[in-house]
Homo-oligomer: A and B are copies of this chain.
Amino acid sequence: MKILVADDHGLLRDTLVAFVASAGDAETHTAPDLNGALDVVVDHGPFDLVLLDYNMPGMNGLDGLEKMQALEGAHHVALLSGEASRSVAEAALEAGAAGFVPKTLSAKSLVNAIRFMVSGEQYVPVDFLASGTERKDSHPLARTLTMREMQVLEGLTEGKSNKEIARDLNLSEPTIKLHVKTLYRKVGAANRTQAALIAREQGLF
């Protein structure tokens, strides 16, 4: 079994490799970014499984996934991600990814997932599908916000004015201002710029 772990966090890379190695008969390679990963596959391939960090230099969303899949030496390609975004996971699986692995997973479960994916199955953690209706439930910040407030916050993270957000959501401007205000209290922001930055830092949108 030959797998490649590509992640810009050396800490995760090194420890993960050590763990996988101690857990079974795997030959493991690593890379710190997408280009490095592509090179490794070309030079040392083929690999049974390639794990790509979603937030790694060069990835550019799902572009990186597709580039890797285009190579001969990558039999199965899965995504690894820090924040559990349901929409990204769905898009990845639809694009033919072997799986979507949130970093909140335990190391033991990951080893099982790796075996699963190497044998050709598609892996998604169960509590991911179960949350079906609300993809953002998993997020600490998102839990305290109502649906409308989330929609307004999304507008803020795009640098829109209250008027623009009102138009987008088919609401009146005063309504948006209300949501904006209550939303500030909940996330601890003093103005719209801080709210947008906080949302981005938390990995929302």
Contacts and interface: CB of A to CB of B under 8 A. Distances in A.
A72 interface: no
Interface stretch (A127-135, A169-177, A183-191): A183-191
Oligomeric state, in number of copies? 2
B159 A189 contact: yes
Interface string A104-122: 1111111000000000000
Interface residues of A, number: 45
Interface stretch (A36-44, A89-97, A197-205): A197-205
Nearest to A16: B15
Contacts of A108: 14
Interface of A: 8-16, 18-19, 22, 32, 55, 57-58, 60, 82, 101, 103-110, 140, 156-157, 159, 161, 188-194, 196-197, 200-203
Given A14-B107, A159-B190, 10 more contacts: A10-B105, A11-B16, A11-B105, A14-B108, A18-B107, A19-B19, A55-B201, A58-B140, A60-B188, A192-B193
